[in-house]
Amino acid sequence: MDQLVARYLDTWNETDVVVRRAVIGEIWAEDGVYTDPMAVAEGRDAIDATIAAVQGQFPGFVFSLAGPVDAHHDIARFTWELGPAGGEALVVGFDVAVLTADGRIGRVHGFLDKIPAQV
């Protein structure tokens, strides 16, 4: 599960659209759904568009894992941080990923624990 979570976070950092789309196609179910307090993205195209929008809102920032992945059965939860490379995280949240029977991400439920006031 750790490797899948790492690849998931890598997609949020990948600015090459072709590479990002390829990884999304590998790790997400075709009908996957990403949900957080500010977005609902249904399907790979919408997930890719959501990632691109976040990258546009926080240019040059990187997502990183902020602790161990806690997983059981087909569910994983993990805390992540977003901030400038090597700097203090401006955004902190945690995601709960639910996998499909074939081991792809079917749903991600995102929660935001720390966000800048201007967001």
Query: E strands, 1-119, where?
Result: 28-36, 39-42, 61-65, 70-72, 75-84, 91-99, 105-114
pLDDT at 107: 98
pTM: 0.93
How does pLDDT run across 79-110, given as a tens digit for each residue?
A: 999 999 989 999 999 999 999 999 999 999 99
Higher pLDDT, 85 or 9: 9
Is residue 61 pLDDT above 80, yes or no? yes
Q: What is the distance between the terminal CA atoms of the chain, rounded to a whole angstrom?
A: 31
> Residue 117 has what pLDDT?
75
- Residue owning tokens 């790790």: 27
Residue 119 has pLDDT above 90, yes or no: no
| CA-angle at 30, arms to 26 and 21, nearest 5° | 45
